[in-house]
Structure 1
Amino acid sequence: MTEHPNEIQAQSGKRNSLPLVDRGLLVKVLAPATVANLVCGFDVLGMCLHEPNDLMEIRLLDEKKIIIISADGYPLPLDPAQNTAGAPLVEMINELPGNIGFEVTIHKKIKPGSGIGSSAASAAGAVVGANYLMNDFFSKQDLVRFAMFGEKVASGVKHADNIAPCIYGGITLIRSIHPLDIIPIPAPELYVTIVHPQIEVRTSDARQILRKEVLLKDAIRQWGNIAALVAGFIQNNLLLIGRSLEDVIIEPVRSILIPGFDEVKLKCKEAGALGGGISGSGPSIFMLSKDELTAIAVENVMKEIYNHIGLDYHTYVTTINQTGVTVINN
């Protein structure tokens, strides 16, 4: 490989030396969509999906700057500090000595405002790709810490329930973000059906309408559902998963922003889905199923409802992605 000015061997465990760069100067990654909250787990649970994905190209630069390029003309902010992929990289290079920077080209396939982790995909894809070029100089937990700056750009708040599963894969529990404490949860082999009504619900707007205080009895019920849902995943107990997918705090407020939500949830469960709810802040709705045939039947129900409403939509039938952001070319 052609010698590069930043090819300096990093001393193990030390951040005062540059990382060894020996994987080339360009990497392509697939950055997957995610489902945050998983109904009752507001800001603490998230799940990685196989589809859809953003395609991102990250190029190493020998100067301390970040360049953002929108490959398909999507109106993304080009100021790194205002871009969900750029802000995390700014934080990353601030912790690196010497002159290292990155150029990021984004092929945006996950629509912003869809509720399936568009901002998280950009943030996670950028830091994973950049870290790959530096021989995995930073830990996964470091990458989550950087990527949360992208979520702050998108919503005004740092949260990791999309970022963590996007980087770790599978299902993750975020016990705390101060300090950051991420717990991977065994992910059953379930199918995920998603409908994205073609309206936009901005995360920042969806947070504004939430109540700042909740009744103790509602909090107790929510805690029980979160604990039981995690237990259901660990035990691969589908019945427990199904009855734990209940939200008595967030969903009753946010669901009013999503046309057809109550009908979708009721009829999808009648079609055999284990359960589901709002994906992230919406407007996408996700449902979990035990097999592909049920997941397709659920998709047909979703299509029928939105065809009747007369609202454009996209649907996905996919599975849980166990690996997260994937390097596809170096």
Structure 2
Amino acid sequence: MRLGPILGGERVPNVIDKEQKITTRSPSSIANIGPGFDVISMAIEGLQDTVIISARKGDGLIKVSSRGFNVPSGPGNVAYHVASEFCRKYGIRNSDIHIEIIKGVPPALGLGSSAATSAAVAYGLSLLFDIKLNRKELVMLAGIGEKYASGSAHYDNVAASLFGGFVIVDAETGEVYQKIPSITVPVAIVSPLVNYSSEHRKTEYATGI
């Protein structure tokens, strides 16, 4: 239910001379639990995205390819925007990055599909380039993908996909409060078939119904 240990410490960007590759996986999630709109979320075991990131010395190109559920590749994918922000913020200019996404979380069903991809990409890039991000930095970076997907940055789903368990996010400070249940919690998920148009951003579309 979690990608791995949360890293901390100083950021020391690597210059990649030879091609390097890493694979990360991130689970689906359910958010807006009870009164916690954009604040409370939980990771769901069973559905996950797999992301393979490779980097080599180059001119700063970013390529994104996606398989499954007709999710777009290229700049139309949340991974592209997370990677672009990562490179801008942490000074990655001399590496070409290829991100391959194998979608296991279906989109537009309230299961945090874009968040799963964004979380896996944010965490994978931090490992690949040895840039040690803390919890808040990881959440904020992954939130860039959510901003592209829904029209506004929110961190509940990405926090659950990054850290697993039951998560509460402080919307003002970006702090994450995590509690992993000590017992197995069965969850029944019912997703109605909705004729969702990809021309609309999800949050804007939902609030207009």
What residue identity is the alignment partner of 1:115? G
TM-score of the superposed pair, with normalisation by structure 1: 0.53
SS at match of 1:149: helix
Is the Cα contact below 8 Å between 1:68 and 1:78 reproduced in 2?
yes
Question: Which structure is larger by alpha-carbon Rg, 1 or 2?
Answer: 1
Cα pair distance change 1:173/1:54, threshold 3 Å: same
Name whichever structure is richer in helix by fraction: 1
SS at match of 2:118: helix
* Deviation, structure 1 residue 136: 5.0
What residue identity is the alignment partner of 1:183? Y
Instruction: Give distance in 1, aligned partners of 2:24 and 2:180.
Output: 24
Q: Which residue of 2 aligns with 1:37?
A: 32
Cα pair distance change 1:94/1:49, threshold 3 Å: same
Instruction: Give distance in 2, aligned partners of 1:136 and 1:121.
Output: 20
* Deviation, structure 1 residue 120: 0.2
RMSD over aligned CA atoms reads 2.3
* Deviation, structure 1 residue 122: 0.9
* Deviation, structure 1 residue 78: 1.3
Instruction: Give distance in 1, aligned partners of 2:159 and 2:71.
Output: 26
Cα pair distance change 1:108/1:181, threshold 3 Å: same
* Deviation, structure 1 residue 49: 1.2
Structure 1: 5+ residue runs without aligned partners? 1-11, 210-330
Larger relative contact order (Cα-Cα within 8 Å, sequence gap ≥ 6): 2
Residue 112 (structure 2) aligned to one of 117, 120, 140: 117
Instruction: Give distance in 2, aligned partners of 1:137 and 1:157.
Output: 26
Pairing 1:126–2:121 present: yes
TM-score of the superposed pair, with normalisation by structure 2: 0.81
Tell me which stretches of 4 or more aligned residues in structure 1 moved more than 6 Å: none
Pairing 1:204–2:204 present: yes
Pairing 1:139–2:134 present: yes
Instruction: Give distance in 1, aligned partners of 2:115 and 2:130.
Output: 22
Cα pair distance change 1:170/1:101, threshold 3 Å: farther
1:100-249, aligned counterparts within 5 Å?
100-176=95-171, 178-189=172-183, 190-201=185-196, 202-209=202-209
Is the Cα contact below 8 Å between 2:15 and 2:94 reproduced in 1?
no
Instruction: Give distance in 2, aligned partners of 1:37 and 1:186.
Output: 17
Cα pair distance change 1:200/1:125, threshold 3 Å: farther
Instruction: Give distance in 2, aligned partners of 1:184 and 1:73.
Output: 30
